[in-house]
């Protein structure tokens, strides 16, 4: 199979999967992050169909990443270039387009009306009404059954009369056979029977009105209770409106004059293409979901520390967005995997933990016009369990849907690094859960491009060392006051040096260095100012591969001189060297 660019606006890459019978074809359409999967049959005897032109696939991916960067720049159309980033859309009313201003004003009005009239949680009221209707219909059904029991069908009465006549006739025939003596006694007996029947009928006649009167009384009582029900509803409607209702600590009633109200409303409007009614419905659903799931108190819950290595907040990007790292490769540990996804209850607990992390990230935002109001998500797919892991797939789908529905426009970018080929197919399965706007924020980077892609959004000193950056856990040596990171370009076949002056003896030098692309030769040495002194080898020459982490080293001099770091690039591609140092 080969990857083939059919037109400027359409790109196709075919990706191999396990098994000889099927392969997955990923189609990239005009919008760079749309991935559509088609399953195609591959003949087992077709040797050519089993080969992958990796060079062309890589070219397609690189073009896609560049296109995503351009799309991510917003309306300006400017691409994300080296060491540049992106800015959020403005939340200032003066910067909005006319139709956006109109939609915002209309949403303010409708939301205020919903709050003042207690219509925000209409779903809950609808459920109550539905329950009342069910109870009412069940009550009516019970009454019908009761009425049927009380009223005997006419046919049954006739049948009983016929049976009574037959029995009476039979008795008469038997009586006629008896002697004259019994014949004489018969009238007296019949008279007694008639008298007895008359008394019984009279008693039944007296009892029937009493029963009817009791039934009528019961009906009137029930009707009276039903008539009182509207009063209960009226009392519910009369409850004072919750004018202090808020979302992420921001009041939603615009008349309160909070700076962040418009910021929140614009997030819901943008998520629904400025369709006011859809945005209002989305906001109502979010508030209902938060109420049902008790999200407002989730930060106070202890959900354990087992998953702290799965996702965590770490630093900020070039624009100040808090960065959240997601590392699902840890689920290669089968024990942790089963502990997290083994049952439906555990999967729900995992989702709740993920919502808690999202709420922690939002706590770091400044939900005001001009403030940072969204996060940057980094997802590391290295060693991530494949789509065959059903439990992880189910949890991921559920999480994606809930995060998108209830946290709109709170993620500025979703950057996927160390992306395996199979993930493009898996992402296409999730694609229906994403809006077009969400898809446009996706950026994908294969392993060899991970550090380069992150550098477009995050400065080297804020990228963790495991991804090629200079940030170490519990950093104590370097701080913001020590200055930023310097950069030099290492041309193909060229050599560059970094010098750290140590003019006084007893000075300690500390330095960090990383190379974008690595595959270089590297050495460190101390060269004294005195020509008669010997050069000290700090780090002997060695070849550095892409799998090596950035260097940190230190040296204390005994005489004036300088540290000289030499980097030689023997490859045909240019390299970028990023470094920083301090002396004390």
Is 224 inside a domain boundary? no
Q: What confidence score (pLDDT) does residue 304 get?
A: 79
571-577 mean pLDDT: 90
- Is 174 a member of any domain? no
DSSP string across 67-82: HHHHHHTGGG-----T
Q: Is 533 exposed, middle or buried (0-12, 13-18, 19+ CB in 10 A)?
A: middle
pLDDT (0 to 100) of residue 517:
81
Q: Mark which of 400, 423, 458 sits at the end of a domain.
A: 458
Whether 327 shows a pLDDT value over 70: the answer reads: yes
Which of 405, 425, 458 is the last residue in one of the domains?
Answer: 458
Of the two residues 493 and 226, the one the predictor is more confident about is 493
CATH assignment of the domain containing 510: 2.60.120.680
Is there a single domain that holds both residue 447 and residue 529?
Answer: no
| Residue 234 domain flag | no
Between 17 and 164, whose confidence is greater? 164
Task: Single out the residue in 428, 458, 488 at which a domain terminates.
Answer: 458
Same domain, 322 and 357: yes
| Shared domain check, 287 and 433 | yes
Q: Which residue has the higher pLDDT, 63 or 527?
A: 527
Would you say residue 248 lies in a domain?
no
Better pLDDT: 410 or 75: 410
- 82 or 170: which leads in pLDDT: 170
181 in a domain, yes or no? no
Average pLDDT, the chain: 76
Q: Are 378 and 454 in contact (CB under 8 A)?
A: yes
This model's pTM is above 0.85: no
Q: How far apart are CA 551 and CA 265, in angstroms?
A: 46
Residues 270 and 401 in one domain: yes
**In terms of residue numbers, what domain contains 42?**
4-117+253-458
Q: How far apart are CA 463 and CA 470, in angstroms?
A: 6
Q: In sequence order, what are the residues at sequence separation of 6 or more whose Cβ sits closer than 8 angstroms to the Cβ of residue 299?
A: 356, 359, 360, 363
**pLDDT category, 82, cuts 50, 70, 90?**
very low
- Do both 524 and 435 map to the same domain? no
Question: Are the C-beta atoms of 440 and 411 separated by less than 8 Å?
Answer: no
Rounded Cα gap, residues 442 and 239, in angstroms:
45
Q: How many domains does the chain have?
A: 2
Task: Tell me: do 371 and 322 sit in the same domain.
Answer: yes
390 and 484 part of one domain: no
Q: Is residue 139 part of a domain?
A: no
Is pLDDT above 60 for 15? no
Alpha carbons 136 and 110: distance in angstroms, whole number: 33
Domain membership flag for residue 365: yes
Are 493 and 363 in the same domain? no
DSSP letter string over 358-427? HHHHHHT---STTS---EEEEEE-TT---TT-HHHHHHHHHHHHHHHHHSTT-EEEEEEES--HHHHHHH
Task: Give tens-digit pLDDT for 377-432.
Answer: 999 999 888 777 888 888 888 898 899 899 999 999 999 999 887 776 666 666 77
How far apart are the C-alpha atoms of 450 and 472, rounded to whole Å?
18
Are the beta carbons of 471 and 443 closer than 8 angstroms? no
Whether 184 is covered by a domain: the verdict is no
Q: What CATH code is carried by the domain that includes residue 450?
A: 3.40.525.10
Neighbours of 253 (CB within 10 A): 19
Specify the pLDDT at position 388: 77
Exposure on the CB side of residue 57, measured as CA atoms within 13 A: 17
- Identify whether residues 302 and 419 lie together within a single domain: yes
Residue-wise pLDDT tens digits, 243-263: 889 999 999 999 888 999 999
Whether residue 430 is found in the same domain as residue 502: no
| 443 shares a domain with 571 | no
Do 306 and 450 have their domain in common? Answer: yes
Alpha-carbon distance of 500 to 553, in angstroms, equals: 12
Distance CA 183, CA 175 (A): 7
């Amino acid at each position: 199979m080969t990857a083939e660019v059919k037109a400027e606006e359409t790109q196709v890459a075919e990706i191999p999967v396990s098994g000889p019978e099927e392969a997955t074809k990923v189609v990239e359409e005009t919008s760079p992050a749309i991935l559509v999967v088609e399953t195609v049959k591959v003949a087992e005897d077709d040797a050519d169909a089993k080969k992958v032109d990796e060079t062309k696939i890589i070219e397609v991916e690189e073009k896609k990443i560049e296109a995503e960067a351009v799309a991510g720049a917003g309306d300006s159309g400017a691409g994300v270039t080296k060491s540049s980033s992106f800015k959020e859309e403005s939340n200032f009313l003066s910067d909005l387009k006319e139709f956006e201003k109109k939609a915002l004003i209309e949403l303010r009005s409708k939301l205020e009306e919903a709050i003042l009239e207690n219509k925000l949680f209409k779903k809950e009221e609808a459920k109550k009404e539905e329950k009342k209707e069910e109870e009412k219909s069940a009550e009516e059904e019970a009454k019908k059954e009761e009425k049927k029991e009380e009223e005997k069908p006419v046919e049954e009465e006739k049948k009983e009369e016929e049976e009574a006549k037959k029995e009476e006739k039979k008795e008469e025939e038997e009586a006629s056979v008896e002697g004259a003596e019994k014949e004489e006694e018969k009238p007296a007996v019949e008279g007694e029977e008639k008298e007895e029947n008359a008394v019984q009928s009279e008693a039944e006649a007296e009892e029937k009105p009493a029963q009817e009167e009791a039934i009528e009384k019961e009906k009137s009582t029930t009707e009276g209770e039903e008539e009182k029900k509207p009063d209960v509803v009226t009392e519910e409607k009369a409850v004072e409106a919750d004018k202090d209702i808020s979302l992420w600590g921001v009041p939603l009633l615009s008349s309160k004059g909070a700076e962040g109200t418009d910021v929140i409303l614009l997030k819901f409007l943008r998520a629904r293409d400025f369709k006011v009614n859809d945005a209002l419905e989305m906001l109502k659903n979010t508030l209902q979901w938060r109420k049902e799931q008790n999200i407002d108190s989730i930060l106070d819950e202890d959900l354990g520390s087992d998953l702290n290595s799965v996702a965590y907040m770490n630093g900020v990007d070039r624009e100040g967005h808090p960065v959240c790292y997601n590392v699902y490769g840890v689920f290669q540990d089968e024990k942790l995997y089963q502990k997290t996804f083994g049952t439906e209850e555990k999967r729900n607990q995992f989702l709740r933990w993920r919502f808690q992390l999202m709420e922690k990230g939002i706590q770091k935002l400044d939900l005001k016009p001009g403030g940072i109001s969204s996060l940057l998500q980094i997802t590391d797919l290295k060693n991530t369990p494949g789509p065959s892991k059903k439990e992880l797939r189910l949890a991921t789908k559920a999480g994606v849907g809930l995060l998108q529905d209830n946290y709109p426009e709170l993620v500025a970018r979703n950057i996927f690094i160390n992306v395996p080929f199979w993930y493009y197919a898996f992402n296409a399965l999730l694609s229906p859960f994403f809006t077009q706007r969400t898809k446009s924020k996706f950026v994908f980077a294969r392993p060899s491009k991970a550090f380069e892609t992150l550098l477009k959004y995050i400065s080297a000193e804020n990228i963790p060392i495991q991804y090629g950056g200079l940030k170490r856990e519990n950093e104590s040596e370097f701080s913001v006051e020590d200055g930023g990171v310097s950069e030099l370009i290492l041309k193909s076949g060229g050599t560059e040096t970094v010098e750290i002056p140590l003019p006084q003896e007893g000075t300690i030098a500390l330095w960090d260095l990383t190379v974008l692309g690595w595959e270089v030769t590297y050495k460190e040495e101390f060269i004294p100012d005195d020509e008669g002194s010997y050069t000290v080898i700090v780090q002997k020459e060695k070849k550095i591969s892409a799998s090596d982490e950035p260097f940190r080293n230190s040296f204390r001099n005994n005489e004036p001189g300088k540290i000289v770091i030499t980097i030689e690039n023997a490859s045909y591609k240019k390299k970028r060297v990023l470094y920083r140092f301090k002396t004390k």
